[in-house]
Structure 1
């Protein structure tokens, strides 16, 4: 069920304590995406994001999404510890209340030349707008079903990289993106950007599982990176953002 985060002027899809499944600007607002020209360590990235948001005349609660880069895939316990550290800043900003987190997030691990520590790639925030066009950011999602079970029990075709196993992983993740967009009333025709994260060849399934479904309507950005948890093989995120900046 979609909920409003009034302090940030956006709606979100509740998920887990470390992130939401997506954020969409409320009427009268739009989402701006800001990408850093170089990766910034987590604390520095948060500080620069705060400066940019406040310079735009917005409260820190307008922060609605971020894209991170980590050195390598985490174990489940390592991922939990990282997330507990990450949400401390969101709590200090008045966004995370200790239970619910409205901020969408992607956190992936470049296979070649990764950062030495978790770092910021980009962030998004809401700002007033005269545009009537909607804007949203869908959080990164991999081939893992929801729930509290350990990842090996939730990963689609766990450790199966056969052609059919790979196809099912991509299909599941693509449909998860569709489900999240549908929660806001949107679909692939509304997206302005689609990103995928994997070190495996997407081409064998690209036409049927992505292009025919509409996921490549405006192009398709492939990052040679792994999802954030060991044994996940494919992740996607998508967005509709009319204002994008590089700083």
Structure 2
């Protein structure tokens, strides 16, 4: 399988992933990624409308939409997650974004432990703009389970083990997955501009040795007190290397 697939009309390439998202995206030469964060979570349907409006205002096609970050009320069951992904993916298909059945849009979808949104909502989105900037990329979120299996539950790394030893095992696996995805995009920790951790357990025991020491915290780490999107997952990360970010009220 090709490591990455180009979306010429969007100005980026993506790592093929699972139905609900690609594993990561990178701008093609002559383009850069721009991240827009909503000041407050925007419910899914309204979020898609506002993203379409932002793309139109920027004179960019819908195919320029290449990554997003979602916030959900609570972790889904396996069946609930699949149902939600069909709704979300259906909009992307309506927008004409899928490529030969593959979803090119990278994504994180996590669940705030405190003050969660009432329904699945957009937190941020990324799109391409013409710009001769340095290379830029966004790696999709990953919890501590391989993707593309028949379910998450039976493949969770150190499933149910929230001891310090269990958590560091989970973190090491996810850090390795971040490195694998960045490698496919031609990037590494030295190229990141932001790294986010989503976990409600104590990450301090391994923060220095596992994140800081390997360069994952070169600009600090944003620790979001959120759970991964599927029941029983405990630790998720995403990362990006981009040079244009703004907040949309």
Q: Shorter chain as normaliser: what TM range?
A: over 0.9
**Aligned match of 1:57:** 59
Q: Which of 86, 106, 109 is residue 107 of structure 1 equivalent to?
A: 109
1:232-247 map, 5 Å = 232-247=233-248
Alignment of 1:66 onto 2:81: no
Alignment of 1:178 onto 2:216: no
Runs (4 or more) in structure 1 with deviation over 3 Å come to none
Local SS of the residue matching 1:153: helix
**Aligned match of 1:20:** 22
1:2-13 map, 5 Å = 2-13=4-15
**Aligned match of 1:48:** 50
| 1:146 CA displacement | 3.0
**Aligned match of 1:77:** 79
Contact 2:29 2:132 in 1 (8 A): no
Q: Distance in 1 between matches of 2:64 and 2:10?
A: 4
CA deviation string 1:196-218 (max 9, x = no partner): 10101110010111001100001
Contact 2:195 2:240 in 1 (8 A): yes
Local SS of the residue matching 2:176: helix
Local SS of the residue matching 1:8: coil
Contact 1:193 1:218 in 2 (8 A): yes
> TM-score w.r.t. structure 1 length?
0.97
| 1:150 CA displacement | 2.3
Q: Distance in 1 between matches of 2:184 and 2:158?
A: 26
CA deviation string 1:125-156 (max 9, x = no partner): 0010022x100000000100233232222100
Which ranges of structure 2 fall in alignment gaps of 5 or more residues? none
Contact 2:18 2:147 in 1 (8 A): no
Aligned length: 246
Q: Distance in 2 between matches of 1:137 and 1:128?
A: 17
Q: Distance in 2 between matches of 1:92 and 1:151?
A: 27
Q: Distance in 1 between matches of 2:208 and 2:106?
A: 28
Q: Distance in 2 between matches of 1:4 and 1:91?
A: 17
Q: Distance in 2 between matches of 1:155 and 1:169?
A: 9
CA deviation string 1:82-130 (max 9, x = no partner): 0000011111111025720000000000001100000000000001002
**Aligned match of 2:148:** 147
**Aligned match of 1:216:** 217
Q: Distance in 2 between matches of 1:106 and 1:50?
A: 19
| 1:181 CA displacement | 0.3
CA deviation string 1:47-91 (max 9, x = no partner): 111111111111011000000000000000000000000011111
Contact 1:91 1:97 in 2 (8 A): no
